[in-house]
Amino acid sequence: MKKPILLAGIFLIAGFGLFTLLNNQTEEKGTQSMSIDISTEEFKEKRANHPGVIIDVRTEGEFEEGHLAEVDHQYDLMNGDFKAQLDELPKDKTYYLYCRSGNRSGQAARMMKDAGFENVFNVGGFEELAKAGFETKK
């Protein structure tokens, strides 16, 4: 009588342990794949090793007041321009997005992730990037 109860207890504990292990691995993978916000220093390092497409998601007026010298595209997130361009962008490239404060570029980066883009990074706000030494122009 004691053997079946003991075996049931062992299976229960082993099953719970396996469930916990697998659940933690899934959560870690999800967190890693959705890690899109990077610092200006991380942006410098990543750009050195993985050049990619830089997209400014601010308005045209904000862009004309000043932008990164190496920007590849200016697609306004707020007027729908950014969303309209998503189908035209290759999903296998690396993308670095910025705006005024990092909020809109974070939204745009999540939009790209949801659309199946793998390597997308929110690099923050324009002023922060300029202060960190990234070349700008008007």
Q: Which helix (H) or strand (E) holds 29?
A: helix 2-33
pLDDT per position in the chain (138 positions), as tens? 566 665 555 654 654 444 554 554 434 344 344 579 999 999 999 999 999 999 999 999 999 999 999 999 999 999 999 999 999 999 999 999 999 999 999 999 999 999 999 999 999 999 999 999 999 999
Measured CA angle at 33 (ends 43, 91), to 5 deg: 75
Sheet holding 94-99, edge to edge: 73-74, 53-56, 94-99, 119-125
Answer yes or no: are the C-beta atoms of 104 and 78 closer than 8 Å. yes
Pairing of strands 94-99, 53-56: parallel
Report pTM.
Answer: 0.76
User: So where are the chain's domains?
Assistant: 1-33, 36-137
**Fold of domain 36-137:** Oxidized Rhodanese; domain 1 (3.40.250)
